[in-house]
């Protein structure tokens, strides 16, 4: 089968158009853009924006490929050593290898290597199975690289501005919460609620979500309960008759406790600690006895 290179444009719109056209053109097995390549001569894309591949997801795709074949070819460009470099489709390549296939259908494109990251980003954000954190990072990189607004990106990739803004907000989650979302231990619904908390509070609630298998609704109730003492506490400070310096020191102490994932409240001249497990008690004793 003759091979035809597909040149990609320089701009974001041109790249989007070319990638879309490439996929539309290859739906027929007779397309001159599609070739069959040995899976072992395809190198991974060094600019792959997808950082996490769910094993079960790759396994399911592998089974689908065995039963129905590969529905969408991967995108590659020719390397320097009689090999090819993957632009987009790493999950499909992994699944094909897992299925024991020796070759894979591919579209070979002629592309400036400087544009590899942009193409990989765009190809990934158009896929429904990209996890929310990788998607948010892809949006962020496109906005920074092209110096465009949320509105402009929304028009380019045919998404709503609200969806882009809400997805980007997920990057405000603590690293631990982001990891849990990526690994599908929590849902995006949980994450949206946790965003309203600071990092320490997020991880306190995360422990409860994972340990008690809380639903999104349960989590929302827990967060409201967590915020309520803070509002009451402000009134308690005013009623306590203590000096502003004393009140500030209490706030500082509470912040230190939060760093150790220990929540607390101040009422009636008492600082109450809420400790959920023995390990935190041991940690607190160790910290206090070391001074």
Return the DSSP state at 34. E
User: Given the DSSP bridges, would you call strands 263-267 and 84-88 parallel, antiparallel or unpaired?
Assistant: unpaired
Evaluate whether 122 touches 19 at the Cβ level (below 8 Å). Answer: yes
Determine whether 90 is an active site residue.
yes
> Does residue 35 sit in helix, strand or coil?
strand
Say which of 90, 118, 123, 233 is annotated catalytic. Answer: 90
CA 14 to chain centre: 26
The full DSSP string for 50-118 is -----HHHHHHHHHHHHHH--SS-EEEEE-SSS-EEEEE-HHHHHHHHHTT-SEEEEEEEE--GGGHHH
Provide the annotated active-site residues.
Answer: 90
């Amino acid at each position: 089968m003759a091979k035809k290179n597909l040149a990609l444009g320089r701009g974001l719109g041109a790249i989007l158009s070319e990638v879309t056209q490439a996929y539309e053109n290859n739906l027929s097995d007779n397309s001159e853009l599609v070739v069959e390549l040995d899976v072992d001569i395809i190198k991974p894309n060094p600019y792959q924006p997808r950082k996490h591949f769910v094993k079960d997801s790759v396994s399911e795709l592998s089974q689908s490929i065995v039963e129905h074949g590969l529905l969408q070819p991967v995108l590659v460009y020719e390397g320097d050593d009689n090999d090819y470099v993957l632009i987009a489709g790493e999950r499909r390549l992994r699944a094909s290898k897992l299925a024991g296939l020796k070759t894979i259908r591919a579209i070979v494109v002629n592309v400036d290597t400087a544009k590899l990251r942009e193409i990989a980003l765009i190809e990934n954000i158009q896929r429904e199975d990209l996890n929310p954190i990788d998607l948010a990072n892809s949006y962020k990189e496109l906005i920074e690289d092209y110096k465009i607004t949320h509105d402009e990106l929304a028009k380019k990739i045919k998404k709503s501005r609200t969806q882009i803004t809400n997805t980007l907000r997920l990057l405000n989650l603590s690293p631990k919460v982001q990891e849990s979302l990526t690994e599908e231990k929590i849902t995006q619904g949980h994450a949206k609620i946790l965003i309203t908390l600071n990092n320490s509070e997020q991880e306190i609630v995360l422990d409860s979500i994972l340990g008690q298998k809380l639903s999104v609704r349960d989590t929302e109730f827990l967060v409201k309960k967590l915020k309520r003492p803070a509002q009451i506490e402000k009134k308690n400070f005013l009623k306590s008759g203590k000096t502003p310096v004393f009140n500030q020191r209490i706030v500082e102490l509470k912040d230190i406790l939060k760093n150790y994932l220990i929540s607390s409240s101040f009422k009636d001249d008492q600082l109450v600690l809420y400790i959920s497990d023995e390990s935190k008690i041991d940690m607190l004793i160790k910290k206090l006895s070391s001074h």
